[in-house]
Amino acid sequence: MNFLSTIVTFDNLHEVRRLFHWGPIIALSVIAICSTMAILDSIIWYWPLDTTGGSINFLMLINWTVLILYNYFNAMFVGPGYIPLGWKPEHQQDTQYLQSCRVCQGYKSPRSHHCRKCNRCVMKMDHHCPWINNCCGHLNHAYFTSFLLLAPLGCSHAAVIFIMTMYTQLYERISFGWSTVKIDMSAVRQVQPLIPFSVPAFAATLFALGLALGTTIAVGMLFVIQMKVIIRNRTSIEAWIEEKAKDRIQHYQTGEEFIFPYDLGSRWLNFKQVFTWSGTPKGNGMEWPVHPKCHQHTLTIEQLKQKADKRMRSQVLYQAVEDYNGACCPVNKGLQTFFRTPCTEEPRIPLSKGDPILATRGTKWWMYGDKVLNEEQMRAGERVRGWFPRRCVEKCHYDTAASDGTSDKKVN
């Protein structure tokens, strides 16, 4: 009991709850189905105890499964690293360069952002991933990216096994008319398969093949995206901040020169910031090596400028002209609204006709903003913000800021 108590602590049990979410359930189900079917089919296709090739094939298959699960669970349970609650910088004067977080009751260190799903400020937050039910950030970025690499490799191997199993089992049963296609089956036909390849087995193999190919394509694309993030030492959120910085400088003609501070000028140096032999990324998650022309608060100062710009643009008042129930993909708001829904976990806010909304950003078919609340709701600290269809609102012409062409242009 003492041994178990040292391992299973309250915090550990709390983290185990991450498994009970649709993302990990689907991800682990796909891994289990592909791995189980690949093991069974490899026994049918290439018996591992009779040939060296069969043994290597089987061991590689087990190796993929172990490595995939190892990196997956580390990405989930190691987590991204969180800023301590109530954190303040060592030097009091640095607080003027940092954003504060009302929820965590402290300041956000450079590169950190508050995640509404985790309800904490996350170190070097890239995004919240529903498949691991956790954020991808400073401490687990290498594990997460390794999982994205290993999953397509393992699924590609499994797909080959599925295809070859179906081919070898159906080769003598069905004539495909492939007179020119000949594969040497002598090595794999030395023994009869221990598991009969029935119609249900064929259907299960075909289903697993579809999962393996789909996973290879989808997760492989995510791996490419993450590698672009890593070799530039720029998270997805920071790429968006940099884009807005250039837009702000160009729009207001300030003459500033914005240099992204965390790109060290070498892809290899950027790569080593995430991947290390020890598995632990460099740094403490609060202070970072920066470009020679920048300092620790270059990006946070830019964020404060953008936040001030956002407050100014938020004065553009809109009013709901149609009811909206908060659906992610509303079927009654037009095909473009349905298919162009924002690919984000940010909430949608239901609207009733006449509701006032302060819009801060948007796309051609959707807008993002805050509902204007009454005094009682504001005193209670309530805040309702999220996405809503653009067709459901129209600008209030009596708004004093509506005549500001700059604000109008920035929203639209």
User: Which sign does the torsion angle of CA 39, 40, 43, 46 carry?
Assistant: negative
Quote the Cα angle for 358-304-403, to 5°: 35
Question: With contact defined as beta carbons under 8 Å apart, do 68 and 219 qualify?
Answer: no
Which pair of tokens denotes residue 2? 């003492």
Which pair of tokens denotes residue 406? 């700059």
**Whats the size of the chain, residue-wise?**
412
What is the rounded distance in angstroms from the CA atom of residue 322 to the CA atom of residue 326?
12
Residue 21: which of 129, 144, 135, 133 has the closest Cα? 133
State which H helix or E strand residue 385 sits in.
strand 385-389
Residue 204: which of 25, 26, 32, 23 has the closest Cα? 32
Helix 22-45, helix 199-231: angle, nearest 10 = 120
What is the rounded distance in angstroms from the CA atom of residue 274 to the CA atom of residue 361?
32
| Residues tagged active-site | 129
What is the rounded distance in angstroms from the CA atom of residue 366 to the CA atom of residue 383?
20
Question: With contact defined as beta carbons under 8 Å apart, do 18 and 76 qualify?
Answer: yes
- In the numeric block, the tokens 């209030």 are attached to 396
DSSP state letter for 83: P
